[in-house]
Amino acid sequence: MLSFSDRPPVFLRWRSSTTLILLAVFIGVLVDTAAFSIAAPIIPFRLEQLGYESVGDKVGWIIACFGAGLIAATPIAVYVGSKVSNRQLPLLAGLLSMAGALILFMESDSFVAMLIARLWQGMSGTILWTFGLALVIDSVPEHRVGASLGTVMAGFSAGEAIGPPIGGVLYRHLGFRAPTVFLLILLGFDLVLRLAIVEKKTALKWIEKGVVIPGFSAPNYPAAHDEVLEPKDVSPAATIPEGAAEKGQLAVSQDFASTGSNLWRTTWRLVQDPRASVAIGIAMLYGVVFGLLDTGMVLYVKDQYGLDEQGAGLIFIAVVVPSFIVSPLAGWFTDRYGSKWPATLGVTMFVATYPLLLIEGPLPLFVFFLVLVGVGLSCVVTPTTHDLNVAAAATPGAEPAQVFALFNLAFSLGSFIGPICGGQIMHSMSTRNGFVTVTSIGTALVALAAPLVLVYTGGRLRCGVLRRERDENAT
């Protein structure tokens, strides 16, 4: 008989499943992104309600403080991620911290209080991003990384999609606190999922003890046979695949334990890889473009089309809804054919469609152009995260948490620079001229980056032929 402590956790098959892990990380990314985006349509109206005038620059600073918090917390997340193999505890801490930051923002009645709350939100978001994406890499076989990241990054799009419209609608009908209460409810759901998860490395320990988990998969581990989950009083050698015992925990030490390498030396080696550098640069550019758009578009549609906070929030749906389809497709395509094609298509489409927002036509036409912009942006994000993972696999000592902390840092820098620049531009010009300027800047920056994406994303361009780097399949 096995003692109670020798029995596996209840519902181990479900709790260690890749589906649950991806769902939890998806929700975490969604909550973090929604916390960032939900403020965009309501901050201008809230500041005016509090008696502030000329709110354009203040909106930029409040939005940018989220990025500043991400930047401030990233070095800590990088260090902790390289030393700690456990992902669940940091993620739980990040959720609780985010809850505190949201409550502070909900109770803010001044510009300064909003700045502090947004800074705190950004610091909490760093944990959710860094350890969440690292948990995905820890949990899925290499050939499924692209599709898995595409699924998770759809949470980014979902957060951008639900944040502004729900924020605008709830603010108008239920007041300033209502959007934050909505986010706290999402956090509660995410907390339940986090507590339910059994990490793959923990499940592997139970497999070593003789437990069979039907359909189980993990990096460097063959899928289990479809047998009933049941603890068995047998030696580990009876159920561990031949040759795995000598490797220690089924050859997952690279993914689940700290390498002990020099953190900053590893980081430097990683950014010297052109493929990784371009991916990091694209992440930063993504933050700049969205920061400019978040700051300028609310004021523009308010002035150009007479939209209130509810209408301004709903307009954001057009940018991000396409990504629910495009992001998973981009991940699927990346797994099979490489990341160069979807990334190049995305930046090309963005450069071609973003200036169309300047056409002074009816609102439905403006929304249609926003949909095209959203498709272009969605084609870029998943290949970017996939390229970072490939570069990390080829960099000795690189850890998933470390790699995605760099991604988060780059996006954070963009999220800090974009709103500040956009806010100052919108404050110093007329609304129309300001929106023309921020749109032109975003288009020019992406156009300058397009050749680098073509040459380096998915492997260096050689002899005019787009080739996928074979190191993606290296072990």
What would you measure as the largest C-alpha separation in the chain, in angstroms? 78
pLDDT at residue 5, rounded to an integer:
56
Q: Is the dihedral of CA 76, 122, 16, 224 positive or negative?
A: negative
Q: What is the mean pLDDT of the chain?
A: 77
Q: What is the pLDDT of residues 97-129, one digit of tens each?
A: 999 999 999 888 888 999 999 999 988 888 887
Average pLDDT over residues 208-225: 62
Q: What percent of the chain has pLDDT over 90?
A: 11
What CA–CA distance (Å, rounded) separates 181 from 68?
24
Q: What single-letter DSSP state applies at residue 224?
A: P
Q: Are 275 and 456 in contact (CB under 8 A)?
A: yes
Two structure tokens written together for 262 = 């020099």
Which pTM was predicted?
Answer: 0.66
Task: Kindly indicate the confidence band of residue 253, based on its pLDDT and cuts at 50, 70 and 90.
Answer: very low
What CA–CA distance (Å, rounded) separates 336 from 348?
21
What CA–CA distance (Å, rounded) separates 261 from 258?
8
Task: Kindly indicate the confidence band of residue 214, based on its pLDDT and cuts at 50, 70 and 90.
Answer: low
pLDDT at 22 over 80: yes
pLDDT at residue 231, rounded to an integer:
40
DSSP letters of 81-147? HHH----HHHHHHHHHHHHHHHHHHHT--SHHHHHHHHHHHHHHHHHHHHHHHHHHHHHS-GGGHHH
Q: Are 411 and 283 in contact (CB under 8 A)?
A: yes
What CA–CA distance (Å, rounded) separates 363 from 308?
14
pLDDT at 311 over 70: yes
Structural domains for the chain: 7-199+263-461 (1.20.1250.20)
pLDDT at residue 441, rounded to an integer:
93
What CA–CA distance (Å, rounded) separates 337 from 95?
36
Q: Are 391 and 269 in contact (CB under 8 A)?
A: no
pLDDT at 281 over 60: yes
Two structure tokens written together for 248 = 């220690």
pLDDT at 180 over 70: yes
What CA–CA distance (Å, rounded) separates 35 from 42?
12
